[in-house]
Amino acid sequence: MSLPPRQRVYTTPPDVTLCPVDALQDPGARNIVMQIEEAFFHGFLVRKGDQVHGYVDRCPHAGLPLARVLDQYLTPDKQLIHCSWHGALFQLEDGQCVGGPCAGASLTPWPVKVEGGMVVTA
pLDDT digits (tens, 9 = 90+) for 1-60: 665 667 999 999 999 999 999 999 999 999 999 999 999 999 999 999 999 999 999 999
The Cα 13–Cα 6 span in angstroms is 19
pLDDT band at 103 (very low <50, low <70, confident <90, very high): confident
Mean of pLDDT over the chain: 94
- pLDDT score of 80: 98
The Cα 99–Cα 115 span in angstroms is 33
User: Taking a C-beta distance cutoff of 8 angstroms, is the pair 43, 57 a contact?
Assistant: yes
Instruction: Reply yes or no on whether the pLDDT at 104 is more than 80.
Output: yes
- pLDDT score of 109: 98
Tell me what percent of the residues of the chain surpass a pLDDT of 70: 96
Question: Which residue type does 32 have?
Answer: I
CATH superfamily of the domain spanning 7-114: Rieske [2Fe-2S] iron-sulphur domain (2.102.10.10)
